[in-house]
Copies of this chain bind each other. A is one copy, B any other.
Amino acid sequence: MTLAKASLTLAEFLERPETEPASEYIDGEILQKPVPKGKHSHLKLSLSLAINQVVGNAKLAYALPELRCSFGDRSIVPDIAVFEWARIPFDADGEVPDDFLLPPDWIIEILSPDQSANRVTQKILYSLQHGTKLGWMVDPHDRSTLVFVPNQLPTFFEGSDRLPVLDPIPLELTCEQLFGWLKMNPAG
């Protein structure tokens, strides 16, 4: 995660071209996300697909990986941002907008080995303080997930624990099942 002290405002930051990996604007600083590794990318994709599959055509919610969400005085790019359908700010043509100027309803972060857990947790905490209802901190190496909801201590999940999901989404998933997706070649 590179770090540069910004002398620009959130609005000025948002006018800058996107970087790859994405950069975030937090506490007046620009921080670039680490280059995602295999486990991280694979879980991000599998989990986004799983959420969108169970939702199907029911228009309950939608999961968007690596979506920029700007709110408060920050601009963050959660690994996965899940929005209740009614909160997606579709534009006049009914299309997904370019800019999401609101926090996700459910923020999912997947810890990379080169990331500071405290700093990633801070993104989840900030979101929860701004209206996010549910946060997951997924550690693929530990096979565990910390679950955050507003105004409470987080809860630790592992093994056969069933993970709490955003309310309208009919997803039943245990930690074991989540990390089972990492095994792409079970016969190998």
Contact = CB atoms under 8 A, between A and B. Distances in A.
A139 B156 contact: no
Interface in A121-161: 121-122, 125, 128-129, 137, 139, 141-142, 144-146, 148, 150-156
Contacts of A154: 121, 125, 153-154
Interface residues of A, number: 25
Contacts of A155: 125
Contacts of A156: 118-119, 121-122, 125
A9 interface: no
A122 B159 CA distance: 14
Contacts of A122: 144, 146, 156
B125 A144 contact: no
Contacts of A121: 117, 146, 154, 156
A53 interface: no
* Interface-centre pick from A116, A117, A122 (highest chain B CB count, 10 A): A117
A37 to B, nearest CB: 16
Nearest to A141: B116
A129 B118 CA distance: 21
A114 to B, nearest CB: 10
Contacts of A152: 151-153
Interface of A: 111, 116-119, 121-122, 125, 128-129, 137, 139, 141-142, 144-146, 148, 150-156
